[in-house]
Structure 1
Amino acid sequence: MKNFKKIITGLIVLLTLSCSDDILDNDPISSFSAQGFYQTSADAQAGVYGIYDALQSTFRTNFSHWGEGRADAVNTNHSGDPLALQQNTLSKAITSARWNNIYETISRANYAIKYIPEVFETESEFSLQLIAQARALRALSYFYAVKIWGDVPLVTEPYESVDQEFFIDKTNKEEILDQVITDLIFASEYCRETFSGDNTRILFTQGAANALLTHVYMWRKDYENAIVSAEKVLDNNLYSLVSMSDWSKIFTSGYSNESIFEIGYDDTQTSGLRTLYAVGSDSDYFPSESFRNSFEDGDQRKNLIYDTSNSDPRKIWKFFGEGFNDESPEPSANNIVLLRLADIILLKAEAHNQLNEVDEALRLLNLIRNRAGVPQLNETEAVNLYGDMAATILHERSIELSFEGHRWFDLVRTGNAINVMNPINGLIDEANFVWPLHEDALNKNPKLEQNQFYN
């Protein structure tokens, strides 16, 4: 694990100089000769590690801004992006509307996908594994781009020549999702099943590819395929639900048996978790009153998620441990857990419910409820508590996966964004679900058109 992070740190300077800051930044001087970089198998591996480095920057704080900031579980006292997202006053100038880091990740992946095959005289298991990781990371980046902006430019070749077309139109989001699925199916076949030690949790494996495929299929409401990919995750002996006594360690320590894919950070390459959630009165977000009131009696997760000792809690200590009381504004070394088993179990429950397979949906739902110490539900009880089974599963996701970057996307995916958020910030138009394109992207590329709602 330490060796992997040292390699990543060493690559920051190299790949920052080598790769374009933005695949849509059309200055050819900022690009580099990949033929000169990819010479050996070590270069190929280093190039893939460089994609993970870009991913760290992409998700450092935006996993929360994109996935929680526009939803109902958080409030904020901060100006800037946190306030704009909460009030639904998004503009082309907000920081979270930038896609630079996403396209940097895509750019590095495109170089790796093109040039790794040229490093090896013959196709090998190792070369396929590296390409599979690159394609999985590209797929992850494009999946988020679609969820955030809708139609975006689809770039699958590295920018290397002034002869290439560098003003790129947006591509229909469904075509992009087709590419995402193609990449992930490749990754699910050719990624390694496991790595040594902690690397299994921070590098893309077959299990991580199948977990992400489950998310993509659910986004498209392709419930049959979502169940198939989810079953591959549930059948994978790398993953198991941890006991409730170890639940906090999923986030505070990382690398748990429940973890499928984490974005790895350390004291050098830090995440923004502390400033997002835990700096007391000065964090970006604190738990909303509606979220605090949504827990069932006896839920053992409650005290582990936020500061229940304070009548006006300002600390979300899920990622640092119950009682966390460090007011330092310094960045965090904690990993961001992007995919974990409980998430996939609940998605699978949702898919079964959509196919009217209620018994299986209840069985999966109750796996998560049982661990949390809340009573099992039958269908009648679920309907009495939350109105229907779909709402029951959505509620369980809101508690179990709270502040992990899923809530806004869950509301959009399940068709609940307007009815939940309209009383809070007046959200009324589905065209408003996506973010605006940032003004920098519009200024650089005359072929880009602003998303309709923000014109």
Structure 2
Amino acid sequence: MKKIKYMLGACCLALSLTSCSDFLNEEPVSEIPAGEMWKTARDAKAGVNEIYGLLRSTLRENYFYWGEFRSDNVAPGAPVMADQARVINNLMSTDERSARWTTLYQLINQANLAIKYVPGISMPDVADRNDYLGQAYAMRALAYFYAIRVWGDVPLFVEPTEKYSKDIYKVRTNCETILEEVIIPDLKKAETLINRNKNFERKRISICGVWAIMADVYMWTGQYNLADQTIDKMADISSSKGRFVDFEPSIQAWHTMFTEELNNKPSDDTPENDEYSTKEFIFLVHFNMDEVGTNGYSYMYQWFSGSGNRAAVLSDQYMNIFNEADMRGDLRKDYTVKLYQNGNELRKYMSGDVSNSLNKMCEVGYPIYRYTDMLLLQAEARARLGKWEEALDLVKKVRDRAGLVTPTALDFASENEIIDYILRERQVELVGEGRRWFDLVRTGKWKEVMEPINGMSQDGNEVFPIHYSHVLENPKLVQNSYYGNN
């Protein structure tokens, strides 16, 4: 069968609709002849599912490279893991694997295809068609949100590239323009389209997933009132089990949701059936080796356990948080970290020691958004709006679960103090979830935090380099200034 290939954007790479199976056991898009795609409800389902397969390919490594390794959470692990160490030590060059945006633009192109063709597909239930379309808009928004946070200005494509032409070469579009003219409008469209009565899936975008991305974007743009209002909406979404997303008050259940709920979940063809016991998870990246072979295992065990090939350990700076007076006795510590072979290993996703054989059979999902993340974002938003007591009420829920005491508003002398306090709580609560680096950039604190650790001090160092191959292939691209002209 003929495979559809695209040459997309700045990378000038062939973007085939890849043959990796999606997580819902739908026939891969690449196995469908070009002339027959996007005709039926089954095509729509397969085409949208492929977006999630490409998200898995994009974030399998970059979840950690982009969101965790540049932060003060981690230090280099084994000496053989040089790629990760360069990112952690702020020694990146333009040939880093994490500087490639190829699969991310494949995802964007697949979303653009769905946005173009799904509206024209006749389906028995228009709500299902709208739901697929809403997921495509939300996933395009999420992909561009990652892109601008990682590289700043990036090439913009809002129409699918279906054949090679010179139009694939584009200059970089201002990141603020992408935020205001693509990401936020896409999320607002998704909000109107997602099926709130049937889509209760955490491996793909639900209405709460749309709101989670939207709240994150509003925080990034300083629209704190909108972020606060958006997070509030999540409490009104119910499934047959009650609220769809909710706070988990038990520390034991908190531990179990990472070590059991994320591990080796089956694929799911029925979005109306929620197979998760916890309501904490809003959206996650799913891994399943039965569906996609060796590409279906995640790096959650391999990169964080065993002295021989672990990519990173928890840093001294992170561990010192637990020595602060108000953090002593934090119940999360023993569930999060273990001193093993001269390194403080991230054990948040492991119930015990992990053998070498399990390292490459790991099917632990990656949380992109969960409800406690949203509550702490909301606390920050309210603090910035001058609602300090309301902010601390939200933080108290999280600290109560951790066995800690929460101060009152009278204990803080300034907004900056309370914001730092909330950010520290986010750091401990969300370690290993790809959030800390983005928090540092979003709040403008990356220099003050990272300069003493790895020398970050120059404007422009907060973004990644663009891979040199993209710059060579597209003469209209200009490298991020910190990394020179290569």
Asked whether the 8 Å contact 1:109–1:134 carries over to 2, the reply is yes
> Which residue of the partner structure matches residue 111 of structure 1?
113
Name the SS for the 1:298 alignment partner: coil
1:345 aligns to 2:372 (yes or no):
no
- Measured after TM superposition, the shift of residue 228 of structure 1 is 1.3
CA 264–30 in structure 1, closer or farther in 2 if over 3 Å, else same? closer
Name the SS for the 2:368 alignment partner: strand
> Which residue of the partner structure matches residue 200 of structure 1?
201
Q: What aligned pairs does 1:255-294 form with structure 2 within 5 A after superposition?
A: 255=276, 256-267=278-289, 268=293, 269-294=296-321
Name the SS for the 2:303 alignment partner: helix
Instruction: Measure, in 2, the Cα distance between the counterparts of 1:387 and 1:124.
Output: 48
Asked whether the 8 Å contact 2:13–2:102 carries over to 1, the reply is no
CA 331–311 in structure 1, closer or farther in 2 if over 3 Å, else same? closer
Instruction: Measure, in 2, the Cα distance between the counterparts of 1:344 and 1:64.
Output: 20
Supply the AA of the counterpart residue of 1:140: L
CA 298–387 in structure 1, closer or farther in 2 if over 3 Å, else same? farther
Asked whether the 8 Å contact 2:123–2:129 carries over to 1, the reply is no
| 444, 449, 453: which one aligns with 2:473 | 444
Supply the AA of the counterpart residue of 1:241: F
| 183, 186, 190: which one aligns with 1:183 | 186
Q: How many residues align?
A: 436
Supply the AA of the counterpart residue of 2:221: R
- Measured after TM superposition, the shift of residue 313 of structure 1 is 3.0
Asked whether the 8 Å contact 1:211–1:344 carries over to 2, the reply is yes
Supply the AA of the counterpart residue of 1:396: E
> Which residue of the partner structure matches residue 132 of structure 1?
134
CA 163–75 in structure 1, closer or farther in 2 if over 3 Å, else same? closer
Asked whether the 8 Å contact 2:283–2:370 carries over to 1, the reply is yes
> Which residue of the partner structure matches residue 374 of structure 1?
404
Instruction: Measure, in 1, the Cα distance between the counterparts of 2:106 and 2:174.
Output: 20
Name the SS for the 1:127 alignment partner: helix
Asked whether the 8 Å contact 1:34–1:111 carries over to 2, the reply is no
Instruction: Measure, in 2, the Cα distance between the counterparts of 1:279 and 1:311.
Output: 8
CA 227–30 in structure 1, closer or farther in 2 if over 3 Å, else same? closer
CA 153–71 in structure 1, closer or farther in 2 if over 3 Å, else same? same
Asked whether the 8 Å contact 1:61–1:273 carries over to 2, the reply is no
- Measured after TM superposition, the shift of residue 107 of structure 1 is 1.0
CA 21–369 in structure 1, closer or farther in 2 if over 3 Å, else same? farther
Q: What aligned pairs does 1:30-109 form with structure 2 within 5 A after superposition?
A: 36-77=36-77, 78=79, 79-109=81-111
Percent identity (aligned): 33
Name the SS for the 1:430 alignment partner: coil
Q: What aligned pairs does 1:112-261 form with structure 2 within 5 A after superposition?
A: 112-120=114-122, 124-162=126-164, 165-178=167-180, 179-193=182-196, 195=198, 200-236=201-237, 237-242=243-248, 243-252=250-259, 253-254=261-262, 255=276, 256-261=278-283
Instruction: Measure, in 2, the Cα distance between the counterparts of 1:57 and 1:27.
Output: 16
Asked whether the 8 Å contact 2:383–2:419 carries over to 1, the reply is yes
> Which residue of the partner structure matches residue 398 of structure 1?
427
Deviations 1:81-101 (A, max 9, x none): 311112211111011001011
CA 373–304 in structure 1, closer or farther in 2 if over 3 Å, else same? same
- Measured after TM superposition, the shift of residue 22 of structure 1 is 4.9
- Measured after TM superposition, the shift of residue 444 of structure 1 is 1.3
> Which residue of the partner structure matches residue 418 of structure 2?
389
Asked whether the 8 Å contact 2:47–2:110 carries over to 1, the reply is yes
Gaps of 5+ in 2: 18-29, 238-242, 263-275
Asked whether the 8 Å contact 1:23–1:107 carries over to 2, the reply is no
Instruction: Tell me how large the CA RMSD over aligned residues is.
Output: 2.4
1:299 aligns to 2:285 (yes or no):
no
Name the SS for the 2:356 alignment partner: coil
Which structure shows the higher helix fraction? 1
Asked whether the 8 Å contact 2:75–2:312 carries over to 1, the reply is yes
- Measured after TM superposition, the shift of residue 18 of structure 1 is 3.2
Supply the AA of the counterpart residue of 2:246: S
Instruction: Measure, in 2, the Cα distance between the counterparts of 1:29 and 1:86.
Output: 30
Asked whether the 8 Å contact 2:128–2:195 carries over to 1, the reply is no
Name the SS for the 1:278 alignment partner: coil
Deviations 1:110-165 (A, max 9, x none): 11111112222799222111111011111111000000000000101111244561
Gaps of 5+ in 1: 1-13
Name the SS for the 1:307 alignment partner: strand
Asked whether the 8 Å contact 1:280–1:315 carries over to 2, the reply is no
Deviations 1:352-376 (A, max 9, x none): 1111111111111111111111012
Q: What aligned pairs does 1:305-384 form with structure 2 within 5 A after superposition?
A: 305-308=336-339, 310=340, 312-321=342-351, 323-328=352-357, 329-381=359-411
